[in-house]
Structure 1
Amino acid sequence: MKNSVFSQKIYSFLLATYRWYLQTPERSLHEAYDAALKIKEIEDKHFNGNKIDIDSAMYSNSVMDYFESDLKKLLKIVRMRLTEFRASRWFLNEENQKAAQKADIQHLSPSLVLEKLNFIDQVTSKYTNISDQTTSKALVVRPPNIAANSVISDDDSLLVNTPTLPPKIPNRDSDKKPKSKLKADTMGVLPRSILSTISRLQVELDPNSEQDVIQTFRQTQRRTIISIRFILLLIIIPLLTHQIAKAFVVGPIIDRFRSSEQMQIFLNSEMEEEALVELQRFEERLKFENLIIKAPPLLPEQIETEMKNKAREISEEFRRESSNAIKNVFADVFSVVAFIWLLLVSKSSIAVIKDFFDHIVYGLSDSAKAFIIILFTDIFVGFHSPHGWEVLLEGVSRHWGLPANRDFIFLFIATFPVILDTIFKYWIFRYLNRISPSAVATYRNMNE
Structure 2
Amino acid sequence: MNNFVFTQKIYSYLLAAYRWYLLTPQRSLDEAYQAALQIKSIEDEHFNGQKIDVDSSSYSSSMMDYFELDLKKQLKIARMRLTEFRASRWFSNESNQKAARKTGIEYPSADIILEKLRFIDEVISKYTVADPEINSAIVTQPQIVKVDEVATQKSPAPLTTPSANKNIEQKLKPRRKADTTGVLPRSILGTISRLQVELDPNSEQDVVQSFRQAQRRTIISIRFILLLIIVPLLAHQLSKTLIVGPLISHFRQDETANVFINFEMEEEALAELQRFEERLKFENLIGLTPTLNPEAIEDKLKEKAAEIAEEFRGESANAIKNVFADIFSVVAFVWLLLVSKQSISVLKDFFDNLVYGLSDSAKAFIIILFTDVFVGFHSPHGWEVILEGISRHWGLPANRDFIFLFIATFPVILDTIFKYWIFRYLNRISPSAVATYRNMNE
TM-score scaled by length of structure 1: 0.68
Aligned partners of 1:397 and 1:403 also within 8 Å: yes
- Change in CA separation of 1:363 and 1:61 when aligned onto 2, cut-off 3 Å: farther
The 5 Å alignment of 1:298-377 reads 298-377=292-371
- Change in CA separation of 1:321 and 1:168 when aligned onto 2, cut-off 3 Å: same
Aligned partners of 1:366 and 1:442 also within 8 Å: yes
The 5 Å alignment of 1:90-169 reads 129-131=129-131, 133-139=135-141, 141=143, 144=146, 152=154, 161-162=172-173, 165-169=176-180
Aligned partners of 1:325 and 1:400 also within 8 Å: yes
* Aligned mates of 1:60, 1:283 — CA distance in 2: 74
Partner deviation per Cα, 1:233-254 (whole Å, 9 max, x = no partner): 1111111111111111000111
Deviation at 1:51, TM superposition (A): 5.0
Aligned partners of 2:380 and 2:407 also within 8 Å: yes
Aligned partners of 2:228 and 2:333 also within 8 Å: yes
Other-structure match for 2:378 = 384
Choose between structure 1 and 2 for higher RCO, CA contacts under 8 A separated by at least 6 residues. 1
Partner deviation per Cα, 1:55-88 (whole Å, 9 max, x = no partner): 9943586752322344688999xxxxxxxxxxxx
Unaligned 5+ residue runs, structure 1? 1-31, 77-119, 172-181
Other-structure match for 1:202 = 199
Aligned partners of 1:163 and 1:352 also within 8 Å: no
- Change in CA separation of 1:193 and 1:38 when aligned onto 2, cut-off 3 Å: closer
Deviation at 1:217, TM superposition (A): 1.2
**Aligned residues: CA RMSD:** 3.8
Deviation at 1:211, TM superposition (A): 2.3
* Aligned mates of 1:443, 1:375 — CA distance in 2: 11
- Change in CA separation of 1:236 and 1:307 when aligned onto 2, cut-off 3 Å: same
Other-structure match for 1:39 = 43
- Change in CA separation of 1:294 and 1:162 when aligned onto 2, cut-off 3 Å: closer
- Change in CA separation of 1:260 and 1:434 when aligned onto 2, cut-off 3 Å: same
Tell me which amino acid in the other structure corresponds to 1:138.
T
Deviation at 1:52, TM superposition (A): 1.5
Partner deviation per Cα, 1:142-163 (whole Å, 9 max, x = no partner): 8858767867279x98697535
Tell me which amino acid in the other structure corresponds to 1:323.
A
* Aligned mates of 2:212, 2:330 — CA distance in 1: 34
Aligned partners of 2:254 and 2:313 also within 8 Å: no
Aligned partners of 1:265 and 1:322 also within 8 Å: yes
Partner deviation per Cα, 1:103-159 (whole Å, 9 max, x = no partner): xxxxxxxxxxxxxxxxx99x99986732584451213648858767867279x9869
Other-structure match for 2:248 = 254
* Aligned mates of 2:198, 2:145 — CA distance in 1: 22
Other-structure match for 1:58 = 62
- Change in CA separation of 1:209 and 1:57 when aligned onto 2, cut-off 3 Å: farther
Deviation at 1:354, TM superposition (A): 1.0
Partner deviation per Cα, 1:195-244 (whole Å, 9 max, x = no partner): 666534312xx1x3332222111111111111111111111111111111
* Aligned mates of 1:266, 1:247 — CA distance in 2: 22
Larger radius of gyration: 1
The 5 Å alignment of 1:212-227 reads 212-227=206-221
Partner deviation per Cα, 1:172-200 (whole Å, 9 max, x = no partner): xxxxxxxxxx8xx99xxxx9898666534
SS of 2:368's partner is helix
Tell me which amino acid in the other structure corresponds to 2:217.
R
- Change in CA separation of 1:62 and 1:141 when aligned onto 2, cut-off 3 Å: farther
Aligned partners of 1:381 and 1:421 also within 8 Å: yes
Aligned partners of 1:398 and 1:404 also within 8 Å: yes
* Aligned mates of 2:256, 2:225 — CA distance in 1: 45
Instruction: Determine what percentage of the aligned residue pairs are the same residue.
Output: 59
Deviation at 1:261, TM superposition (A): 1.3
Other-structure match for 2:401 = 407
Unaligned 5+ residue runs, structure 2? 1-35, 81-120, 159-166
Deviation at 1:262, TM superposition (A): 2.2
Other-structure match for 2:85 = none
Aligned partners of 2:232 and 2:332 also within 8 Å: yes
Partner deviation per Cα, 1:330-365 (whole Å, 9 max, x = no partner): 000000000011111111111111111111101100
Aligned partners of 2:232 and 2:333 also within 8 Å: yes
- Change in CA separation of 1:429 and 1:143 when aligned onto 2, cut-off 3 Å: farther
- Change in CA separation of 1:226 and 1:34 when aligned onto 2, cut-off 3 Å: closer
Tell me which amino acid in the other structure corresponds to 1:357.
F
SS of 1:293's partner is coil
Partner deviation per Cα, 1:283-304 (whole Å, 9 max, x = no partner): 0000111122266531111011
* Aligned mates of 1:34, 1:339 — CA distance in 2: 29
Alignment partner of 1:420 is 2:420? no
TM-score scaled by length of structure 2: 0.69
- Change in CA separation of 1:428 and 1:60 when aligned onto 2, cut-off 3 Å: farther
Partner deviation per Cα, 1:374-423 (whole Å, 9 max, x = no partner): 10010000000000000000000000000000000000000000000000
